[in-house]
Structure formats: structure tokens, C-alpha cells
Structure 1
Amino acid sequence: MYDVFVVGGGPSGATAALDLVNSGHKVALLDRDGRIKPCGGAIPPRLMQDFDIRDEQLVAKVNTARMISPTGRHVDIPIENGFVGMVDRKDFDPFLRARAAAAGATALTGTFLRIEREEGATFVVYREKATGEERRAQTRLVIGADGARSKVGRAEVPGGDKIPYVLAYHEIIKAPGKSEVYDPVRCDVIYDGDISPDFYGWIFPHGDSASVGMGTEVSSVDLKQATAALRDAAGLSDCETLRKEGAPIPLKPLDRWDNGKDVILAGDAAGVVAPSSGEGIYYAMVGGRVAATACAATLASGRVKDLRLARSLFMKEHKMVFRVLGSMQNAYYRSDERRERFVSLCHDIDVQRLTFEAYMNKKLVRARPMAHLKIGLKNLAHLSGLVAPTRV
């Protein structure tokens, strides 16, 4: 008998399990063995502080972001007074699961099948990997942290079967030496309709390796072919390919995260990936934390309405950031001409500073109102075509 059964052991599920164990609850954490999500792997200092992630988990520290336009123009944005940490999910996720297990969570390896209810009791049914047999565990609450195509969400939460998503694909390659086109301390973000007609491509350093990939919502795009074109354009075609991964990335937080009785969603299953940037690790871990908070409150009070706390706590802190980033994606990602203007806008020092202050601290910066006003006016000028794209 568990207080909470967590389905999915990525950053969200592992964080929820750890928080719940640390607050004195009996927790099971179910994960499929060998699952690695395609991910650039960037994590901000705020994540490292909030979730006690030490430097030894990082495979690289990035000090510059390069934004590349459809015509090949670029702007390098320095990360002032800090760095962005890079992790490799094949190592980072197991670390998070192991940390939760060491704290007291029961680690289970298998595949979620369904939830059954009998005479007021809730059971999670899963297929155990080691034996191939079905197992059934009784629990008071369930957290579905099983990704954008969440089986838990589709079966249990209204709207959980209608989450929009981008398909992402990347290849982990053996990193080349530093050159004019590759820098082991720089993240490259490529805004080019030939690579992705509605999102972007990326080249992110991972120490001895690098993540090269892209994402799109357009079903007709061949993700592997687009990634090959990206590697060719960046001079990375001859680098050894270490592994290939693909998965959906949600585009919008669900309107509801719980079923009103015993299930709550977290992370990608709840849709908490930032628009425009596609950043997911930090928001997944926050999603796991608020899900744990909501479960602890429900278990203490006996009120199932307390499950709603997860979404309300998350949106109170991050709703405005998601709204602004969503507006940016809708405005600039629709054509190469708009992408060209977006990269041009990134030359502005006010844009650079406020963008990275918001990224590093996960808050919209309000300290310089005149800078915000200037950015708003410049944004309108670029969108309306009153200014020509900056040439590099």
C-alpha cells in the first residue's frame, strides 16, 4: 500500500517521488528501463539551486548562445555573470531516480498498463520488466509523469488525450574540436524553415559529445533528413553518431491536471514545456514539485480538491512567462522572413540582457521599465517591417 504511486521516472516524476519521500510518505516510482528523451540538456542556475544539482552532474558549462537566421546571419549573446549548465539525459535521469530511491522511494522497472478501482481502493497495474508478468499495487494517489503522450492522462484526466505537441529528434554525436562553426562552450539555435518550418534546430555541446536536433509540429517533415541537413550545414556530417532519439514535446499546459479523485499529472504529461524555447527540464521538475505538494496536501486533508493546487501553484509563478513566450513563437516562427527579423531583434542589448535574466532566474524582470518599453517598440517595428533586418 503506497501513499503515492508515481508513473514515469524522468525529471518530473523523480522530483515528485523525492519530495514526497522527504515529507514522510510511502512512494513507488515506476519507470521503463532504457528510455532516453531527446533533449538539448540545458539547465539554468535556478534549477541547480532549487533542486540541489551539483556541478558534477554537468557535462559542459555554456557561456554563449548563438542565434542563427535563415540566411546564415548570426548574433552571439554572452551569458553575463554566470553560465548555463548542460546535462546528458542518459545520465541525468538515472541520477535523479537513484537519488529518490536512496531517500526511500520504491524503484520499480516496468510499463504502466492501467488503473483499476475496487470498492473505493485504487490500484496501479503494470508489467514488470524482469518477469514480464502483470503486477498490481494499491495506492491512495497516482502521479502521471509519463510524458507528452501520457497513458495516465489519456485514460484518467479530461483533455489528457488532446495535448498538442511538437515531434523532436536529435542525434548525439562525438564532439569535434573547437572551430569556426563549433564551440564546446556555445549553444547554437538555428531558425531556418528548411530545418524546421515552425520551430528550430539546435547544436548543444555535451563535453565529449554534442546534441544535434530539431523539432516540428508539421507531420510531413522528415525529422531524420532535416537533422542530417543540419549536420551537413554545420560541418558535422563526418562526426561519429553515438545514438539517436525521438519523442513528442508538448506545446501548451493542459487546462486541467487532475481527475478530481486520485490522479494528477506532472511534467510533459501536464504540458509544461516553455513555448518558443522548448525548455522543459526546469519546468518538469517544478511540475513534479507542485504535484508532490498537492498530493501531500490531499493526503493530509482528505480533500480531493486539493489536487488542484498543483496547477494553480505552477501557473501563479509561470503563467506570464509562458504567455509571453507563446506570443513570441506565434509572432516570429511562422515564416523565414519573420525568423530573420527575430534574429535581428536579438542584436539589441536590452533584449539580450532581459532575455537571459528571465531565463536564469525564471521570472520576467521588472527592474528596468524603460528597457521593457524600448523592447516593445522595437518588437513592433520589426514585426511591422519598419526596420530592415540587421546584417552581420
Structure 2
Amino acid sequence: MAELETFDVVVVGGGPAGATAATDLARHGRSVLLLDKAGRIKPCGGAVPPRLIRDFEIPDHLICAHITSARIISPTDRHVDMPIDGGFVGMVNRDVFDEWLRERARDAGAVRRSGSFEDIQRESDGTAVVLYRPKGAAPDSPPERVRARTIIGADGANSTVARHHVPDAGRAPFVFAYHEIIRTPTKAEAPNFDGTRCDVYYRGTLSPDFYGWIFPHGDTTSIGTGSMHKGFSLREAVGELRRAAGLEHAETLRHEGAPIPLRPLKRWDNGRDIVLAGDAAGVVAPASGEGIFYAMTGGRVAAEAVQTFLVTGDATSLKLARKHFMADHGRVFWVLEKMQNYWYSNDKRRERFVSICGDRDVQQITWDAYMNKRLVRSRPFAHARIFFKNIAHLTGLVPA
């Protein structure tokens, strides 16, 4: 039999997490195989904060829109505008963005292959062998096989690598997201539409536990919603959202749906040679559903953990990926989960939540935390004011 190809790392999944991990490890001089299903586009609002653009060196040509404000809409159609003072949130198209990331990995030295991951087997000495079916291969043909010193599972929310090869990883709660990409209307076609503003709808009929969104992408716009409730019709909700926004007649270019995890898994490694990253590890922020920054950060810490393991041979190094990620972002995830569980539970609370969003202290701290990906501790008096305002809203001392 022919000798199997051997790689230092096989990365399963070429989304932002997998592509980032592959790029970082290839730049370390590691032999990397990046295995990805071709043609899949994840439903995603596409927002990227300034810190992501800086940390991951994203070129300007990938930013298809600059968002300078958000409009929050309550169940009773109250509007609260949240301008971004002196900054912007970038928007990317995932088909273009993800492919650019994969090409960057190839330019760094990674080997790119299109195919479907099937399984991991073990040789007599315990070395992992990754089985995959190349794109276009006959269904009855045998899978391709490559040997791997380590494996990064970045194969999405329903990760096969996680389910079959990372014991005790647990299961994250899921929001199933659905969006429709429309051709961006002209001002005459939709007078209330603003291509520099994201609109976020908190309304039980649009989502009983999440939110609906309208996110401009230049020539196109993403309109979507999500929910954990089985049986809730996301398509009908998006249709209602389009009517509410005056976009029901806009041309629909495509639509996509997929599960989105909302809690990091309890374990990201198998204690041997596998570590998870991105949606496979559950790193999508609760309440907001933001995933691109956390996916790329998860890919980077996974790459760092794998690099340490390849240098030292100590498999406990793989635990560093989760440890370092949670040290930096675990508190934010905890706060956002509590916020979602409380404020998104019924329309009365949603109404009060939107009212709180009109407060300037809340807006400034929210944007600072989002843009820089950290909890803001530098303004204690603002935090104190927000605390007492929250108490007033929770107790009903102020009108919604």
C-alpha cells in the first residue's frame, strides 16, 4: 500500500475559525491540510467589529458596508436610535469573506481540499487517520485517507468531530437562524431603509426568544430571525418582518438556514490530539448571536494550543484553547446569557429593554464593549447609573 500523506494538523472546516487556525499554523511552518465543503454559506448578519478588523488584518475591500448606527424597535413599534460616535461596524458578505480567509490560509502554506469529513480512525500506534470524501467523488468510491498528528474540529454547530471524538463535550443550546438576502432597495422603493443603519426588532411574533434583524450589505441586505422554539415558523416571521419594514416587494436573491450554538461546550479537546474551534466549540455570543469575531478568536487559540502541543508533546496543552478563550470572554458570555434569558422572555420585558437602550450611558458602554470586545470598567459612575436605572425598570418604577 502507498504511504499515507502525513500532516502536522488537519483542520476540518474552512469557515472563519478553521481558516484562521490553518493560517496561523501554516505561518508557524506547520504542514496543514484545510478540509472544507465547498459552496456552503452560513446564514449570518455579517457584522465585524473594529477589533476583528485590526486583530486579523482584514483588508478594506472585504468591508461591503460601514454601519454608523443601530435602530432598536420594540413590540409596540417604538424606535430607539443608537449612533456610533466616531466609529463604525463593518459588514462582510460571508461567501466572499470566508473564501478570502481560506485563500489566505493557502497563501500561508496550507493545503486546501474540498470534501466531506467522514471519520477518524487509529493506526496500531494510535496515530489518527482522517477519512474524507473529495468533492465530486462517486458515492461508492472509498474515502481518501491522510495521517494527522493533530486535528482541529471546526466543522460547525453540528460538528461530527465533537459528537464522535470529544467525550463529555456536552451539547450547547441552539438558535436556528434563517435569513433572506434581498437586493438593497432604492430610497424611492423603501423610504425608511438606511444603508448605514442596522435595524433590530424585539417582538415576540418575530422571535419568541431571540430577535429579528435587517443588516445592510451595500448592494444586498440580510433580513433574518432565529429561535430555539421548535415549530416556530422562521420563514413566516421573516415575511412579517419584511412587511413591517416595507421590504416585502424587494427582490429575494437567496435564503439560508442553520443552527447557531449559544453556549461554549464544556470540553474542547479529547486529551490526546483533537481540539475544537468556532461553532463546533459553541462560541457564539448569547443575546446577540455574534459569531465571526469569536470564531476567529477560537481558531487562533486552538492554533496556539496545537502549536504548543506539537512543540512539547504534552496533550494537556490542548486544554489551553478553552482556558484562554474563557478567561478573555467567558464573563461576557455569562452576562449575555442572563440578559437574553430575562429580557427576551416576553414582550413586556422587551418593551422595557428597548426603553433602556435609549439611555446614553447604556449606548456608550454597549458600543465600547462591542467594538473592543471587553467589559467596560473604566466608567464606574456610568455603571452605577445604569444599575439603578435597571432596578427602576425591573421594578416598574419607571414607565416602559
Aligned to 2:117: 112
In structure 2, how many angstroms separate the alpha carbons of the residues matched to 1:140 and 1:204?
41
Letter in 2 for 1:244: H
In structure 1, how many angstroms separate the alpha carbons of the residues matched to 2:137 and 2:333?
43
Asked if residue 103 in structure 1 is aligned to residue 108 in structure 2, the reply is yes
Aligned to 1:173: 182
Kept in 2: contact 1:168–1:249 (CA 8 A): yes
In structure 2, how many angstroms separate the alpha carbons of the residues matched to 1:330 and 1:224?
23
Aligned-pair CA distance for 1:160: 4.0
In structure 2, how many angstroms separate the alpha carbons of the residues matched to 1:94 and 1:145?
15
Post-superposition CA distance 1:184-220 (Å, at most 9, x none): 0000010000000000000000100100000000011
Aligned to 1:224: 235
The counterpart of 1:253, out of the listed 245, 256, 264, is: 264
Kept in 1: contact 2:152–2:274 (CA 8 A): yes
Higher mean alpha-carbon deviation, 137-146 vs 322-331, is at 322-331
Asked if residue 80 in structure 1 is aligned to residue 85 in structure 2, the reply is yes
Kept in 1: contact 2:48–2:89 (CA 8 A): yes
Aligned to 1:313: 324
Aligned-pair CA distance for 1:180: 4.1
Letter in 2 for 1:203: I
Aligned to 1:371: 382
Higher mean alpha-carbon deviation, 283-292 vs 224-233, is at 224-233
| SS state at 1:215 partner | strand
In structure 2, how many angstroms separate the alpha carbons of the residues matched to 1:26 and 1:381?
57
Aligned-pair CA distance for 1:74: 1.0
Q: Which structure 2 segments of 5+ residues have no match?
A: 1-5
| SS state at 1:127 partner | strand
Aligned-pair CA distance for 1:90: 1.1
Letter in 2 for 1:169: Y
Post-superposition CA distance 1:304-336 (Å, at most 9, x none): 000000001101111111111111111200000
Aligned to 1:122: 128
The counterpart of 1:263, out of the listed 263, 274, 286, is: 274
Map of 1:326-341 to 2, 5 A cutoff?
326-341=337-352
Q: Which structure 1 segments of 5+ residues have no match?
A: none
Asked if residue 242 in structure 1 is aligned to residue 250 in structure 2, the reply is no
Kept in 1: contact 2:169–2:266 (CA 8 A): no
Kept in 2: contact 1:122–1:140 (CA 8 A): yes
Post-superposition CA distance 1:99-128 (Å, at most 9, x none): 101111000100010100111210110111
Kept in 2: contact 1:150–1:160 (CA 8 A): no
In structure 1, how many angstroms separate the alpha carbons of the residues matched to 2:225 and 2:102?
27
Kept in 2: contact 1:153–1:161 (CA 8 A): no
- Describe the shift of the 1:214–1:373 C-alpha distance in structure 2 as closer, same or farther (beyond 3 A): same
Aligned to 1:57: 62
| SS state at 1:49 partner | helix
The alignment covers a number of residue pairs equal to 389
Letter in 2 for 1:137: V
Please, what is the CA RMSD of the aligned residues? 0.9
Percentage of pairs with the same residue = 58
In structure 1, how many angstroms separate the alpha carbons of the residues matched to 2:254 and 2:170?
30
| SS state at 1:188 partner | strand
| SS state at 2:179 partner | strand
Aligned to 1:382: 393
TM-score of the pair, normalised by structure 1: 0.98
Kept in 1: contact 2:13–2:37 (CA 8 A): yes
Letter in 2 for 1:156: H
Aligned to 2:160: 151
Higher mean alpha-carbon deviation, 150-159 vs 284-293, is at 150-159
| SS state at 2:397 partner | coil
Letter in 1 for 2:392: A
Aligned to 1:350: 361
Aligned-pair CA distance for 1:131: 2.5
Aligned-pair CA distance for 1:223: 1.1
Kept in 1: contact 2:178–2:257 (CA 8 A): yes
Aligned-pair CA distance for 1:287: 0.2
